[in-house]
Amino acid sequence: MRHGRTNYNDLNLCNDDPNRDVHLTNKGIMQAEEAALALRDVVFDRMIVSPLPRTRQTAEIINRYHAVSITVHADLADIRSGFDGKPVCDYFAAIALDPLRMRMNGGESLLDHKQRVLCFIDWLKMQQDKVLLIVAHEETMRVFATYFEGGIADHQLRDIHVRNCEFKHYLLTG
């Protein structure tokens, strides 16, 4: 699941620093509450979130119906763009020559981020939980889509769009 709408979504700013004041807006809270209602009958073993507070805030709203543990996993963090606090359009302009491989201002490339999320999926395979809710970011959800849905080339990653509080159901085998 992607987190609810944030103040930085409204401002079109990048964020990968968990210490910045990036939080759910009223709309984001309402999105999370709607998702919570939709997921209220699912029996989760645990919820896993990124280190960025907006994912935990979303998970806590959903967890009102579940009361399971919420753990943080660093590999779920949003892409480290190198443009924290700066406009998303500036980031896109900076990586335009090679959107998959460009690293800016000490950040990671889209392919670096993809590799990090794939490491999380490998870690997940070793866990004993049967049903998890993972609350993460659009870039992370794009990697999940490529892994679980298949048939998506790396150059198509940016074509996948995931709405705030949109959730997908995937089955992890092996």
Please state the residue numbers annotated as binding site for substrate. 2-9, 54
- Residue 54 phi/psi, 5-degree rounding, is -60, -30
What HEC string does 33-68 produce? Answer: HHHHHHHCCCCCCEEEECCCHHHHHHHHHHHHHCCC
The number of beta carbons lying within 10 Å of the beta carbon of residue 41 is 7
Residue 43: how many other CB atoms lie within 10 Å:
8
Annotation: binding site: 2-9, 54
Beta bridge partners of 47: 70, 133
E strand spans, 50-167:
70-72, 132-135
